[in-house]
């Protein structure tokens, strides 16, 4: 009998400090940076985001999300045999955030590693975990997206600092006789490294280069819209499905206009799109599992429904995963 992987529980965690646009606009104005609630809402759909307190790391947010996912799945942490963390804001250069998180869950022994594909990180990590479950390398995996993007924002650059937030989302992915993950389609094109990056690096005991996020928003926007449609269509084709089979689109939450455009291209009404960007901002690799868990807990997305998850981000990376919940 073929072995599949299936999501059996979802969880998420947001740090308690919530800043509305008005809060952020006031903080930025005090530093001489001019922006407005109107601009942010109109261009992005974002109304609020959460920022982690000093000393709180991706592993802390990810561990809380993981505990919530384990509880939802009814799985004991000690039975987890694989942890993959998607993050671009790791706690340290090394070891992996997954290793630190594993210890925070009070477990040891299972393989753990990070996936670095920026905002596409969660669909990449889910694809890797699915492959490891299908081949018998794992049976009960934790797949987590966790980020503290507030640490890499340049609060003097209004074109980027209003867009991002902190948070984490997680799923428990278990071996199953019936299909959960149906197909996946992943891509990257390294020639676009410069349009979205944090160019700094550690060398000789110093940070060399700028350790803050740089983005050419318009270039990212144009690329994103096209590739997201292509990846979604490729994932559908691989599973022998069509747009009509999609119950919910759960996209990376970067900008409401990108989501509207992708939905239109896939002939999906916005009522079938899970939207949390208004409340979370762009939480990079955490945004898809955060959106998924929010929709599951709100009773919006239900077991048995077919979901298209898709992400796009720095690298340039992009991809989609089609699954039955």
Helices (H) and strands (E) in the chain, counts: 10, 15
In degrees and rounded to multiples of 5, residue 144 shows phi and psi of: -130, 140
- Residue from 82, 170, 195, 220 binding ligand UT7 (CB under 6 A): 220
Query: From the candidates 110, 119, 161, 197, which is the catalytic residue?
Result: 119
Q: Which residue number is nearest to ligand UT7 in terms of Cβ? A: 217
Q: Quick check: 158 and 33 in contact, CB under 8 A?
A: yes
Q: Of 15 and 313, which CB lies nearer to ligand UT7 in the complex structure?
A: 313
Q: Is 313 in the site for ligand UT7 (CB under 6 A)?
A: yes
Q: Is 224 in the site for ligand UT7 (CB under 6 A)?
A: yes
Q: Is 226 in the site for ligand UT7 (CB under 6 A)?
A: no
In degrees and rounded to multiples of 5, residue 226 shows phi and psi of: -70, -50
> Where does this chain touch ligand UT7 (CB under 6 A) — which range of 146-154, 174-182, 253-261, 263-271?
253-261
Q: Please list every residue from 180 through 209 that binds ligand UT7, using CB under 6 A.
A: 196
Measured between alpha carbons, how far is residue 281 from residues 3, 18, 32, 325 in Å?
37, 11, 22, 25
Per residue, the 3-state secondary structure of 43-88, as one string, reads HHCCCEEECCCCCCCHHHHHHHHHHHHHHHHCCCHHHCCEEEEECC
Q: Of 39 and 241, which CB lies nearer to ligand UT7 in the complex structure?
A: 39
> Where does this chain touch ligand UT7 (CB under 6 A) — which range of 13-21, 51-59, 213-221, 292-300?
213-221
Q: Of 14 and 258, which CB lies nearer to ligand UT7 in the complex structure?
A: 258
Q: 95: cis peptide before it, omega within 30°?
A: yes
Distance separating alpha carbons of residues 241 and 173, to the nearest angstrom: 22
- The helix/strand/coil state of 262 is helix
Active site (annotated) includes residue 252 = yes
Q: Is 282 in the site for ligand UT7 (CB under 6 A)?
A: yes
Element (H, E) at 169: strand 166-176
Active site (annotated) includes residue 161 = no
Distance separating alpha carbons of residues 153 and 156, to the nearest angstrom: 9
- Residue from 258, 274, 277, 325 binding ligand UT7 (CB under 6 A): 258
In degrees and rounded to multiples of 5, residue 300 shows phi and psi of: -75, -55
Active site (annotated) includes residue 255 = no
Residue 139 has what DSSP assignment?
S
Shortest distance (Å) from residue 43 CB to ligand UT7: 4
Q: Is 167 in the site for ligand UT7 (CB under 6 A)?
A: no
Q: Is 218 in the site for ligand UT7 (CB under 6 A)?
A: yes
Q: Is 25 in the site for ligand UT7 (CB under 6 A)?
A: no
Catalytic sites, residue numbers: 119, 252, 282
Interface residues with ligand UT7 (CB under 6 A)? 35, 39, 43-44, 119, 158-159, 162, 196, 217-218, 220-221, 224, 254-255, 258, 282, 313
């Amino acid at each position: 009998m073929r072995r599949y992987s299936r999501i059996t529980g979802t969880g998420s965690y947001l740090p308690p400090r919530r800043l509305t646009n008005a809060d952020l606009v006031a903080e930025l104005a005090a530093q001489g940076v001019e922006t407005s609630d109107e601009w942010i809402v109109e261009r992005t759909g974002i109304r609020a985001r959460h920022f982690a307190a000093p000393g709180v790391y991706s592993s802390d947010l990810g561990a809380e999300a993981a505990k919530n996912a384990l509880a939802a799945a009814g799985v004991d942490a000690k039975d987890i045999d694989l942890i993959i963390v998607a993050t671009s804001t790791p706690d340290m250069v090394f070891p992996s955030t997954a290793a630190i998180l594993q210890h925070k869950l009070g477990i040891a022994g299972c393989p753990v590693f990070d996936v670095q594909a920026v905002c596409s990180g969660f669909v990449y990590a889910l694809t890797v975990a699915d492959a490891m479950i299908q081949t018998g390398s794992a049976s009960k995996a934790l797949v987590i997206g966790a980020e503290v993007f507030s640490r890499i924002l340049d609060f003097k650059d209004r074109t980027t600092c209003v867009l991002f937030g902190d948070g984490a989302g997680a799923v428990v992915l278990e071996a199953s006789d019936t299909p959960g993950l149906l197909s996946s389609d992943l891509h990257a094109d390294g020639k676009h490294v410069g349009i979205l990056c944090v160019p700094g690096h550690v060398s000789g005991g110093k940070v060399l280069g700028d350790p803050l996020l740089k983005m050419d928003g318009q270039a990212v926007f144009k690329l994103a819209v096209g590739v997201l449609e292509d990846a979604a269509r490729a994932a559908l084709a691989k599973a022998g499905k069509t747009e009509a089979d999609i119950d919910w689109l759960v996209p990376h939450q970067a900008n409401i206009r990108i989501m509207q455009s992708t939905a239109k291209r896939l002939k999906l009404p916005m009522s079938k799109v899970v939207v949390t960007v208004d409340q979370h901002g762009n939480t990079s690799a955490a945004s898809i599992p955060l959106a998924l868990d929010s929709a599951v807990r709100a009773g919006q997305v239900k077991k048995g429904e077919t979901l298209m998850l898709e992400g796009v981000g720095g690298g340039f990376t992009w991809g989609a995963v089609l699954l039955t919940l």
